[in-house]
Amino acid sequence: MVFVNTRCYNFHGKVVKSVFFKKVDATKGPLIKLIFIYTVPIILSTILQHLFEVADKAVLGNMAGSVAVAAVGASGIVTSLIISAAVGLSTGTSIILARYVGQNHEERIRETVDTSLLTAVGLGLAVAVVGFLAAPPFLTATKCPADCYEGALLYIRIYFAAAPASLLYNYGSAILRTLGDTQRPLIYIIVAGVVNVALNIILCILLPQKVAAVAIATAVSQIISAALVLWRLCHFEGVAKVTLSKIRFKLSAFGQILRFGIPASISQLVLPLGNLQIATAINSFGVEAIAGNSAASSVHMVLAAFPNGFAVASTTFMGQNIGAGDVRRVKSSFWYLLSLSVSISAVLGVLTCLSGRFWLGLIVGREATAAIDYGMSRLLHVVLFLFVSGINGVFSHALQAFGYPLFTSITNIAFTLGFRVLWMQLVYPQSPMFDTVMLCFTVSWLLNMLLYAVFFAFVYWRYTRKGICKKI
C-alpha cells in the first residue's frame, strides 16, 4: 500500500514518528476513526478557504461599502464557471488514483501523478487566457449592475492571472488526499490564508482601488499554496514522489484522467451554468440583493465544507476498498459517510438559520438591513436544506468511485442545469420574487437526490450481491 511519508526529523537528525501527520490507510483499521482523521482536515481546509473569502468581503464591506462587496459577488459566477470546469478534471485523478492505490499498482500511480500535474499547469495557462477574454461578455450576460461592473471586471482579470497556481494547488492537493495525506494541505491553506488576510488589510490601506487590493491578495495566496503543495510532492517518499527533471506526460494516463474527469468537469461546469439565470435574476433586484446573496453564499459555502468533506472521503474510502476487493468495508464506508454527512449538515443548517442575521451583519455591516433581509432568504431556503445536498454529494462521489462519473454528470445536467433553467423560465415569471429564486435550489436538490438514490441502489445491489463492479 502506498502512503505519505509520516516521518519527521529532530534537531539531531534522528527520525521520529510524527504525531500530526498520521497516514490514513482506508483499507485497514477502525473506519469511523479513520474517516474523521481523513475528513476533518478537508473540512477545515474548505472552511478556511471560504473564511478567507469572507474576510475579503468583510474588509471591502467595512473599508469600501456594499458596492465593492457586490463587485466581488458579481464576479463569482464567472470565476466559478471557468475554474470549476478546469478543477473538475482533478476528480478523474482522484478516482483512478484511489483504485491504483487499492491495487498497489506502483507504475500507474507514478504515471497518474506526473501527468496530472502537467495537465494542471497547461490547463491553468489556458484558463488564464479564457478568463481574461470572457469576463466582459459574461458580466454583460448576467446583467451586472453598472455601478459595480468595472470593479467586477478588474477582480476577475487579476484573479485569473493566478489560474495556473490555483489549478496546480487543486490537482496537487487532490493527489495528496487520495494518497491519505489530508493534513498538509490544511497547513498550506492556513499559511496562504494568513498571508491573504494580512495583504487584504495592508493593500486596502495602500491602494485606492480596494477591489484590486483584495484580488491581488487572493492571487498571491494561491501562488503560495501551489508552491507549498509542489514542494511537498517533490519531497515525497515512495512511488508518488515528483522529480521535476524526470516528470513525464503519459498519454494513456491523460486519457484515463479525461475519461473519468470530463464527466466530473461537466458536473462542476453545469452548476455555475445553471446559476447564470439565477444570477441574472438576483442582479435585477439591485446592489443590496447582490451583497446580501453574496454574504449568505459565503456562509453557505463555509457550512457546505462539512458534507463536502464526507463526499470527498467517499471517493478515497470506497475507491481504495473497491480496488482492494473488500466488499464489507465498501458497504460500511458508504453508510458511515452518508449518516455523518446528513446528521451534521442538518444540525448546522438549523443553528445557522437561528443566528443568521448576526453572521450576515458581520459581512455586510449591521446597517445594511436590506442586504441582510435578502441574505436571510437564502439561508432559510437553501442552507436549512443543506443535508439534502450532503446526501447528493455522498451518492455522487460513491458512484464515481464505482466507475460511473458519466451518470452523475448526466444527472447534474438534468437537474442543476435543465431543471433550474425551466424553473426560471416557467415558475419565476409567475412569482418574480427573491424567495422564488432561492426555492429553485432546494427543489432541484430534492429531485436530484431521488434519481441518485434509485441508480445507486441498483449499482450497490449488483456489487454487494453479484460482485459486479465496473473496471477502470
Per-residue model confidence (pLDDT) at position 6: 33
368 residue type, one letter: A
Query: SS3 sequence, 191-255?
Result: HHHHHHHHHHHHHHHHCCCHHHHHHHHHHHHHHHHHHHHHHHHHCCCCCCCCCCCCCCCCHHHHH
Q: Is 140 exposed, middle or buried (0-12, 13-18, 19+ CB in 10 A)?
A: exposed
Residue 468 CB partners (closer than 8 Å, separation 6+): 462
Exposure string for 329-342, b = 16+ CB within 10 A, e = fewer = bbebbbebbbebbb
CA distance 121 to 129: 13
pLDDT in tens, 432-451: 999 999 999 999 999 999 99
- For residue 236 the three cell numbers come to 515525497
Degrees, nearest 5: CA angle 280-282-285:
115
Answer whether 293's CB lies under 8 Å from 282's CB.
yes
Per-residue model confidence (pLDDT) at position 12: 35
Give kind and range of the element (H or E) at residue 16. strand 15-17
Where are the chain's structural domains?
27-466
**pLDDT at 246 > cutoff 50:** yes
Provide the whole-model pTM. Answer: 0.79
Q: Which of 7-11, 69-73, 260-264 has the highest mean pLDDT?
A: 260-264
Give residue 62's pLDDT band: very low, low, confident or very high (50, 70, 90): confident
**By mean pLDDT, which of 161-175, 256-270, 375-389 is the weakest?**
256-270
Helical segments of 30-145, H only: 31-63, 66-88, 90-103, 106-141
pLDDT in tens, 163-206: 999 999 999 999 998 888 888 989 998 999 889 888 988 988 88
Answer whether 202's CB lies under 8 Å from 121's CB.
no
Answer whether 268's CB lies under 8 Å from 414's CB.
no
How much is the average pLDDT of 358-364? Answer: 88
